[in-house]
Every structure is written in structure tokens, then in C-alpha cells.
Amino acid sequence: MELKSFRGVVANPGRYIGKIKIVDSVEDIERVKEGDIVVTTNNSPLFSLAFIKASAIISERGGSLCHLAIVSREMNKPCILGVEGISSKLKEGMLVEVDATNNKVTILENE
């Protein structure tokens, strides 16, 4: 089986393997548990509680100076931004590796 991977902009290096939690709205934040990988299209400060609970973060938007990039560095969490269309390519519960040292998000297991 060929592993599918994606690239973006590294906001903070690091590596983490975990399950995906899609966060599209403020209501989704309460579903995020410690150890989840948050995937979002929104880098708003309103989503900060989800970012605090997450062990890694992937976003469709943003660059090295956006709010989420700064937050991920402050919290020292692996973070890759600007991964176009990632929220439609990843599904809730998938096992994914975020290798923000090498700028790669890899799907390890579909749920």
C-alpha cells in the first residue's frame, strides 16, 4: 500500500503520530481530546483551546507569521500550515503522522 502524503509550510518542527480531529467551528473544540491532531481551515484565536489540547496541528491556511504559527511555537507543538484542501482529504479518526521537521503529513491508516 502506498502511503499518501501532503506538504505545506512548517510553522514549528517536530513529529507526532495520532488520530485526526477536524475542527471547523467553535462547537467542534469540545470534541478535541489530549493527543489528537487538529485539522482546521480556521486559524482564529477563538480556536486556541483546541490548539492547547492538540498534540499537533495541520491547517489549510496560514504562513510562518500567522496567529497559529506563533501559538504552535509558543506551545512547542508540531505544526504544518498552508496544506491546501487538507480538511477534505483527511477524515475524522484517521491515523496520521505529522512530520513537521521534514514538512510532511502522511496518512498511516484510514478509519
Q: Is 50 annotated as catalytic?
A: no
In the set 19, 53, 67, 104, the catalytic residue is 67
What is the arrangement of strands in the sheet containing 104-109, beginning at the earlier edge strand? 5-6, 104-109, 95-99, 15-23, 37-40, 56-59, 79-81, 9-12
Residue partners of 35: CB distance under 8 A and separation at least 6 = 18, 19, 55
Give the residue among 6, 10, 4 at the shortest CA–CA distance from 80. 10
Residues that are catalytic: 67
